[in-house]
Amino acid sequence: MVGKKSIHEIIFDLFNYLLMILLMFVTVYPLLYVVFASFSDPKVLMGTEGFIWKPLGNPTTRGYKLTFQNPNILIGYRNTIFYVVVGVVLSLFLTSIGAYLVSRRNFKLKGFLMLMITITLFFGGGMIPMFMVIKQLKIYNTVWAVLLPGAISSWNLIVMRTFFQGIPVGLEEAALIDGANDWQIFSKVIIPLSKPVLAVMVLYYGVGIWNSWFGPMIYLRNRELFPLQLFLREILMQSAPASGQKLTLSDMQTDSYYKELLQYTTMVVSTVPILCVYPFLQKYFVKGVMIGSIKG
């Protein structure tokens, strides 16, 4: 019986490993396809059907050269970096202050603030009232319309609060006895002890801002302020000339072969930074899910 069982197990393990390898392949292949396609000869590529396993025709970096010459990609990158850096600092500042407040035991507005925050998890004004508030505040078509509306994510605030609540109360009391005020307790006691959760927040907010496109799309009109994702959308979905508007390569623009090639290179160029840093940061993201799930 024991021998038979182990044969079952061996077969199961074999299939299990094969299945996992298949899943990894399914996850990675679309990305590989895009990478291969981005180096391919566009004419051969367009005439090819089905799977590809290597760059087709004579491998070329022409697409990448054109992509980096595209002013929109550069403007988009510049703006996105600005939004991510400023937005993360702003979000981190506000979220940690909020989390600090609702994790104090001896704060009479705690219940009120917590209610105010929790309600927003389940109900909101919706797209149009929000749009009108942005208009009324006169921040429509400014960077503030991108930075401010999502500055605090209530979920993140609650995750942070959970973490702050785990810091021993004795530290706060000791600091109070030493005559520290709340700003000092916040900045000198709580924040230095919260690096793990701060790292998680930097990543969550950072990735969120990097990926966001809908808010910027409805709140911005000036193309000089567009984040990368909006230009990507034009290139990938709206058949905008992928080499930018006023490029001297007008002969290329009319060439639909190149348009397709540039879609691939643009996807690679816009995704590689995130995928390169991701494996090193993965554990922080996972930690974030864990901290969040305690109070799920």
Q: Between residue 170 and residue 229, which ones bind other proteins under the rule CB under 8 A?
A: 181-183, 186, 207, 210-211, 213-214, 218, 229
Q: Between residue 1 and residue 30, which ones bind other proteins under the rule CB under 8 A?
A: 5, 8-9, 12-13, 16-17, 19-20, 23-24, 26-28, 30
Q: Between residue 249 and residue 288, which ones bind other proteins under the rule CB under 8 A?
A: 263-264, 267, 270-271, 274-275, 278-279, 282, 285-286
Q: Which of 7, 128, 170, 178 binds other proteins (CB under 8 A)?
A: 128
Task: Count the residues of the shown chain that bind other proteins, applying the rule CB under 8 A.
Answer: 89
Q: Which of 49, 178, 224, 251 binds other proteins (CB under 8 A)?
A: 49
Distance between CA 254 and CA 263 in Å, rounded? 14
Shortest spacing between CB 61 and other proteins, in angstroms? 20
Q: Which of 7, 51, 170, 192 binds other proteins (CB under 8 A)?
A: 51
Shortest spacing between CB 83 and other proteins, in angstroms? 13
Distance between CA 52 and CA 30 in Å, rounded? 10
Instruction: Please name the amino acid found at residue 191.
Output: I
Phi-psi region at 141: left, alpha or beta (left = phi > 0; alpha = psi -120 to 50): left
CA-based torsion, 212, 215, 218, 224: positive or negative: negative
Instruction: Give yes or no for residue 103 binding other proteins (CB under 8 A).
Output: no
